[in-house]
Amino acid sequence: MATRVRIATRQSALALWQANYVKALLEAAHSGIEVEIIGMTTEGDRNQRASLRQIGGKGVFVKELEAAHMEGRAEIAVHSMKDVPAELPQGLEIAAICEREDPRDAFVSNDFQAIGEMPAGKRIGTSSLRRRLQLEREFPDLEYAELRGNVDTRLRKLDDGEYDAVILATAGLARLGWADRIREHLDTDICLPAAGQGAVGIECASDAADVKALLAAINHDDTSVCVRAERMISAGLGADCTLPIGAYAQLRGDEICISGFVSDIQGDNFAQGFAEGPRMDARELALDVTQQLISQGADKLISAE
């Protein structure tokens, strides 16, 4: 079994938190292991002017990390699972998924305690088309503006008065010690999370049996079941990271509940699906939700993008 593991990661504060979290888990699970963190800058980090949709979606945050271990510069890459495209490059796989943080989206504002309190015309910043289109349905009188940058950059823009509120992932705020900035956790009935939101995933070569054996010890089974079910919906729709798609699976004892939605980019047409049943049937239930979405025209919404 491998005794040295190099982690490829982005160099943002949140990405480095995640890499150090995985490092600590590996060191706790395996005595004598040597874990090194290799920080990298991705295209998503370098290009802060264009929208994510324009530069290729959230996958721009992972491609260069994948290249690092395909070229032998790292054994694993650590990602926010919501940034990982449904289809991975040949020869790579998500070998482990760590325990999930709160997957909900968070409303952050210095002036308002809840999004429902905001008067018409107030400005909300978000980089996510998924978030914007869902919130526009519920709060159509607000103004929604593009917001790029790392978590600290987005909070600074809020504090500088560029926005009246911003929408961020609860998990990122909690991990960086900014949970006190959250004014409201958005109910998943209003804003369904992205597939994998709140979970940290570890990618490695499919044939790296020794590395996969190390990672098996830090996989969180409940989280893995839910996140893999969510990702099946995105994969089943043939969707990429530029599309407004949400998927959320939740365990309730031995039962699993799975929700999904997809929209066109204008927000004029939505498809929604839901299924629940035994945890052991998570795969079939995710396929059921996917078929519900397709039966409502989700494939046409996607092909029209």
For residue 164, the domain's CATH number is 3.40.190.10
Q: For residues 188 and 84, give the distance between their C-alpha atoms in angstroms, rounded to a whole number.
A: 21
- Considering the domain architecture, whether residues 132 and 278 belong to the same structural domain is answered as no
Tell me which residue has tokens 């004892």.
253
Two tokens, residue 77? 């890459």
The type of residue at 186 is L
Domain with residue 249: its CATH number is 3.30.160.40
Q: Which two tokens stand for residue 73?
A: 């510069």
Q: Give the pLDDT confidence score for residue 110 in this predicted structure.
A: 98
Q: What are phi and psi of 273, to 5 degrees?
A: -145, 155
Domains in the chain, number: 3
Helix (H), strand (E) at residue 256: strand 255-263
User: CA nearest 194: which of 176, 155, 167, 215?
Assistant: 167
Q: To 10 degrees, what angle do helices 209-216 and 13-29 make?
A: 90
Mean pLDDT of 92-111: 97
Same domain (yes/no): 153, 113: yes
159 in any annotated domain? yes
Mark whether 162 and 87 lie in a shared domain: no
Q: Per the domain annotation, does 273 fall within a domain?
A: yes
15 and 34 together in one domain = yes
pLDDT (mean) for 45-50: 46
Q: What angle do CA 200, 204, 206 make, to 5 degrees?
A: 130
Check whether 46 has a pLDDT greater than 50: no
DSSP-based three-state secondary structure for 94: strand
Check whether residue 15 and residue 88 sit in a common domain. Answer: yes
**What's the mean pLDDT in 39-54?**
52
The per-residue pLDDT for 202 is 96
Residue 11 falls inside a structural domain: yes
Say whether 83 is catalytic.
Answer: yes
Q: Roughly how many angstroms between the first and final C-alpha of the chain, as a whole number?
A: 46
pLDDT band for 40, please (50, 70, 90 cuts). confident
SS3 at position 146: strand
Range of the domain at 205: 4-98+198-219
Q: What is the mean pLDDT of residues 230-251?
A: 86
Q: Judge contact between 225 and 253, C-beta under 8 A.
A: no
Indicate if 86 and 147 belong to the same structural domain.
no
* pLDDT for residue 238: 78
Q: pTM for the whole thing? A: 0.89
Assigned domain for 271 exists: yes
Q: What is the DSSP letter of 2?
A: -
Catalytic residue among 45, 83, 102, 141: 83
Per-residue pLDDT band at 36 (split at 50, 70, 90): very high
DSSP conformation letters of 288-304: HHHHHHHHTTHHHHHHT
Encode pLDDT of 124-179 as tens digits. 999 899 999 999 999 999 999 999 888 999 999 999 999 999 999 999 999 999 99
Please give the share of the chain, as a percent, with pLDDT higher than 90.
70
Assess whether 77 and 152 both reside in one domain: no
What's the confidence (pLDDT) of residue 54?
A: 44
Contact 120, 233 (CB under 8 A): no
pLDDT of residue 61: 54
Question: What's at 15, amino acid-wise?
Answer: A
Looking at the structure, tell me whether residues 18 and 91 fall in a common domain: yes
7-11, 46-50, 134-138, range with greatest mean pLDDT: 134-138
pLDDT at 51: 44
Q: Provide the CA 212 distance to its chain's centre, in angstroms.
A: 22
pLDDT cut 70: percent of the chain above it? 87
pLDDT at 260 over 80: yes
* One domain for residues 16 and 91: yes
